[in-house]
Structure 1
Amino acid sequence: MLKTLKLVPRRTVIIQLSWLGALLLVSLAVIYPMQRAAGGLDREIKGMKGQLDEQKALLPIYEALKVRNQTAPAGALPTPERSKLSRRLVSTIPFTFRKIARESGMEAVSVTPDVASLLNQPGQFLVHLVVRGDFMNFRKFLVGVGQLPYLERVEGIEIQPDPYAMEYKLKIRLAMG
């Protein structure tokens, strides 16, 4: 072998060794990082497949919940056609609010129309209410008040705890015509 090595010119051996070194350098600099990246992508694909299998297993539960949620739509509150309260019906305001309180299981402690509010804002009438009862009945009371066609807005609600029941102070603005 030594004889054949002596027959090959020295320059050819150097060129072949440099090509071998370049090939080794390319494999270390390019191919090895690509192999590592491919391994990372393989691990990521395995993780995604696991998540996909999980979601496939949970799909029937999701579909059942989705159907159950669609079959129970939330009830919409009734909204009457808006109108204005005539001046001759102003005297019935306390009776109307007491009736709504009674129908919702609340006790109307006081209903005070604020006549001075007509001077400040013509066309709007302020009523101060104090009702007593529990929260679920208060919700029913507010729904009943919301059904009044001449209700402009509820300006304020103040809640005070009472030993027997909650006391609610309301400021309600009504539209006057």
Structure 2
Amino acid sequence: MNKQITNPEELQESNNREREQRETRLAHDPPLSADSTPLSAPLSAPQSAPQSAPLSANTISEEEHILLQKFCNKMDNIQYNTCPVCNERIPLIKLVKGSCRRCHTEKLLPKKFSAKNNMDPGEAPEKLKGLTEIEEMLIVQVFTVMTVYRLRGGQNGYMGNIINFPQDIQGFTN
């Protein structure tokens, strides 16, 4: 079973670990450039850039890199609360009697999104925890295409069909 974080100290420790991982990635990643390898290029071992390559007009400046770091720091300081029933982790969520509003108002047992109803996928494997969002999208086994639009109240609306395409990821995951 997965470990649920209900203790505020454990939650803060988890947030600190995530922040350290992100800062480590930012510190070791070179500044981003728009003229880097295109997405259609085959994935292979990283190529070393020439040491004396001149900066192009599309390279992120030092000021922009500092702004990016400030943004990441502010994102890391957002407080997340985790519902112990459904394990939903939302910034600034208000817990009502120890659970999120949806789980609190639901009267049926077992709760719809609880582990007792087999709706908890569990903890991510260690090898997958350090992946960026792009890397996660590359290894997903099902690619979903759907039309999402924003409603006036700020909520999302969905229209039309939802299509799930299976992806063969064996070629570059080994």
Instruction: Give the TM-score band, short-chain normalised.
Output: under 0.3
More helix, by proportion:
1
TM-score (norm 1): 0.21
TM-score (norm 2): 0.21
Structure with greater contact order relative to length (CA < 8 Å, sep ≥ 6): 1
